Structures are given as C-alpha cells and as structure tokens.
Amino acid sequence: MLRHLQRKIRQLNMNCFLITGCIFFLLTIVLKYVSLDCNMDDVNESGDIRGEYCRNHYYQALNLSASGRKNCSKIILGDWNEVRNTLGVDNLIVKNKKVIATDTEYLEVTKDCKEFKKLKKYVMISLSEEERNYPIAYSMVVHDNIEMFKRLLRSIYTSQNIYCVHVDMKSQNTFHKAVRAIAACFHNVFVASKLESVVYASWFRVQADLNCMENLLKSNVGWKYLINTCGADFPLKTNAEIVNALQSLTGKNSMESEIPPPYKKRRWQYHHEIKDYVVQTDIKKKPPPLNISIFSGSAYIVVTRGFVKSLFEKSIAKELIDWAKDIYSPDEYLWATLQRLPGMPGSLPTHIKYDTSDINALARLVKWQSLEGDTEHGALYTACTGKNRRQVCVYGTGDLHWMLQQHHLFANKFDPIVDDHAIQCLEEYLRYKYFYGNIM
C-alpha cells in the first residue's frame, strides 16, 4: 500500500514536472514571438503591426502625451474651463514654460540617427497597405525654428512618402546644418538641390516650391499628389486620413481659386522690383499670355503629379510662370490661375460656379482677422485665441475644438512661442489617432 502510494506520488510529480515544463516552453515561444514582432529596432520600415498587443506596445513607446497638467481630450472636445485652466496655470508657472531646442542641440543629437529617431519618437512603420501604395510628395519651405521643423516633419512622416525641404538662403548657417542633419537621418527626406533667398511677397517664395517640385519629379518614388507646407503649418489629419481625402478628389487639385477683388489688380498690372522687400514701380506690365483671366488664392496647394509635370512641360504654363515673376505676391495668383487653365491636369473650369474659397478647399485652414467675430451675427469664425500676425491667426489652445471639426488637411499658423499647448495637444491627438483611428 505504501509502495503503491509512493509510486502514485512519483508519477504525479513527474506529470506536474512535464506539464510545468510544457507551459514554460510554450510561454517562452510566445514571449519570443511577441518580442520579435514588437521589437522596434528590428521592425521593417514598411512592416505591419501584428495584433493588438504590438499596437499597444508601439503606442506606449511612441505616444506624444502633452506635458503639464492639461487634459487635451477635454480641450479638443471644447471644454472652455479646461482651456482657461491650462492657460492660467501656464501663465502662473513661468518656469515650466517649454524651452525651444537650439540648432546646435539638434546637430549633436543627430550624430546617432538611430537614437535620434527613437528619442524624438518618429514612427518608422506603416499601418496599412493602402497607405503604402499611395505615396505623397511634400515640399517644405522653412527658414527658422528647428524645433518646429522637427515636429512638423514628425507629424507627417511615413516611410513611403517623399519630402523635399527648402531652406531660405538667408537663414543662419547653424539652421542649415541642423536641417541637413535631420534630413540625413531618413532615406526619403532631402534638402532641395537649389536654394533661394526668400523675400516676403516676392517671386522667390514660388521658386522655392518649384525647385522642390523639380527635385521630387526626379525622385524614384511614384507619388500621386504633392502638398506644399511651410514652417508655421501643422496637420489636422493623420496620413491615412490624408490618403483618403486625396483619393476622394479623383484626380482633381484642391486649392483656393476665386475671382479677385478690383483693388488687387495693381499687384499684377505693374512691374515690381525685389530688394529687401517688394516695391511697386510705375511701369505697367503687358497683359498675361493669351489674355488669361487672373484668379486669386493661396500659396498652399494640393495638386496632382500631372499638374506638377505640366509646370515644366506645357508652354502656356511656362509662359505664365515667366510673366508672373515680377508681380506682387505671385504665390497668391499663379497657382489659382493655373488651377483654372484649360488643359492643366486636375484643373477646374473658369466659370464662377467653380470658384473655390479657402474654406471649401482642402489645402489650408486659415483664420483671417477681418473675418473673425460673433458667428451668430455673420462672422465666419470666432476670434483667434492665440495672436494675430499680419492679419492671420497664430492659433491658440481655444481654437482646437473648432479647428478639428474642419475638413482641411493642414492649418496655418502655429508658433510654440505664442501657444505651445495647441501644438502639443495636436501632436497627442494625431499620434493616438494614427494608432487607433478614433478620438481620445
């Protein structure tokens, strides 16, 4: 009896040992599989995230949670108490205000690109086949604030897109070096081969984009659309949402293009000289080629690859470009006019019914000071909660709720010195939405 009991105990112990060993082996295999799939250092740039565990793992490693005690979800949902509390606390605790990183600091941190991308939380993976098959080209015209450039690039970066950066020739040498150092850390980011000295309201602002457009056409990336940006822009949509919006255009461009008011005609009727600023002369210009009707719009556009190619190939487009080089603020007229030119890919007819305001276009959301006010009494939007600069709102925290209800792909203008909370909350919102596709 005793021997039988001892044999039973030994058999039971052996069974437990085998079961425990099997469980341990299976756990080891599972954990090894999970760790391999979720290893951020080993993941392929075009790879998928497998499963909810890995998605959560990546999000926890790459989330861009806003600093301080503010609740971005409440701010975005329109909680004015949270907006007031955020700004009130920020004003009281001056020592906690964000310090903008310097060019020199970025030159140092980019010496190790792998560490830079990890430290600054760039997403090096693509979450969907649809996005991988729909690359977008970006022209990025910048002149200062390396921290803002880093954050803008991070917000729109994916491995399948292509990014050309134009740096103003007048910018500080350290800024040039810092931009090049960041660009060198990515296979699909580069500085334009030709740089311009950009003067406000001059031709060189257009030429900066044209230089990038020419470089982007020569790249080996088969991008579908081009979006141009500047250093004061920030996206309102994730890359997946931008892809969906571009697909919905079905080959059309999207930009502001309207019949201009009479007072603006002097801007293209007279020759202008470019010095430290643009000066109108008394010399009258010849009419535009073929007496083309001039339309007005914005510097910011969403255009097809075909449209961009036509700028360098179609004789009428090249003639109009040459004619526009001495007008005031040509970026406000050239793109809008080309958008209504018959034969330009993705363009619209000249009839007034096809006029498109900046509010209806996808390209850029802008709050003009002259259109702010009481919306119940006809104003287009409520007052800027940041600061108006050159009649344009530099967005504040209180603008976020309104902003994220709009359909635009990008908004202009942002400045971390004016209100960094707005940018931080956008970063947090977009990063969460990138991984989970819904609001916080």
Q: Which residues contact 233 (CB under 8 A, 6 or more apart)?
A: 152, 300, 364, 410, 411, 412, 413, 414
Q: Taking residues 232-251, report their average pLDDT.
A: 98
45 pLDDT tier (thresholds 50, 70, 90) = very low
Q: Select which of 131, 196, 256, 332 is catalytic.
A: 332
Predicted local confidence at residue 258, as pLDDT? 98
pLDDT at 36 over 50: no
Q: In the predicted model, is pLDDT for residue 428 greater than 50?
A: yes
Query: How many angstroms separate the CA atoms of 185 and 111, rounded?
Result: 9
Give Cβ neighbours of residue 149 (< 8 Å, ≥ 6 apart): 140, 142, 165, 179, 182, 231
Asked whether the predicted pLDDT for residue 17 surpasses 60, the reply is no
Model confidence band, residue 88 (pLDDT cutoffs 50, 70, 90) = confident
pTM, rounded to two decimals: 0.90
Q: Is the distance from CB of 188 to CB of 163 less than 8 angstroms?
A: yes
Mean pLDDT is lowest, of 21-35, 71-85, 246-260, 400-414, for: 21-35
Q: How confident is the model at residue 54 (pLDDT cuts 50, 70, 90)?
A: confident
Which of 127, 109, 107, 126 has the alpha carbon at shortest distance from 117?
A: 109
Tokens standing for 282?
């008394």
pLDDT digits (tens, 9 = 90+) for 350-375: 999 999 999 999 999 999 999 999 99
pLDDT above 90: residue 301: yes
User: Of 91 and 305, which is predicted with more confidence?
Assistant: 305
Mean pLDDT computed over every residue of the chain: 90
Which pLDDT value is given to residue 48? 59
pLDDT tier, 21 (very low <50, low <70, confident <90, very high otherwise): low
For the residues 41-52, what does the mean pLDDT come to? 56
Instruction: Please spell the DSSP secondary structure of 331-399, one letter per residue.
Output: GGTHHHHHTTSTTSTT---SSGGG-B-TTTSSSEE--BGGGBS-GGGT-SBPPPSSEEETTEEE--GGG
- 332 classed as catalytic: yes
Mean pLDDT of 32-60: 64
Q: Which residue has the tokens 């890359």?
A: 239
Identify the helix (H) or strand (E) that includes residue 175. Answer: helix 173-183
15 vs 241, residue with greater confidence: 241
The pLDDT of residue 337: 98
pLDDT range class, residue 302, cuts 50, 70, 90: very high
In this prediction, residue 100 has a pLDDT band, given cuts at 50, 70 and 90, of confident
Residue 32 has pLDDT above 60, yes or no: no
Percent of the chain past pLDDT 90, that is, above it, reads 81
Q: Is residue 15 pLDDT above 70, yes or no? A: no
**What percentage of the chain has pLDDT greater than the value 70?**
86
Pairing label, strands 233-235, 278-284: unpaired
What angle (nearest 5°) sits at the alpha carbon of residue 309, between those of residues 307 and 310? 65
Residue 17 vs residue 300, higher pLDDT? 300
Residue given tokens 């959301």 in the structure block: 365
Looking at the predicted structure, is the pLDDT value of residue 40 above 60?
no
Q: What is the pLDDT of residue 149?
A: 98
User: What local confidence, expressed as pLDDT, does residue 210 receive?
Assistant: 98
Q: How confident is the model at residue 126 (pLDDT cuts 50, 70, 90)?
A: confident
394-427 pLDDT tens trace? 999 999 999 999 999 999 999 999 999 999 999 9
pLDDT of 33 reads: 45
| Contact criterion met (CB below 8 Å) for 423 and 386 | no
pLDDT value at 67 more than 70 = yes
22 or 51: which carries more pLDDT confidence? 51
Distance CA 412, CA 410 (A): 7
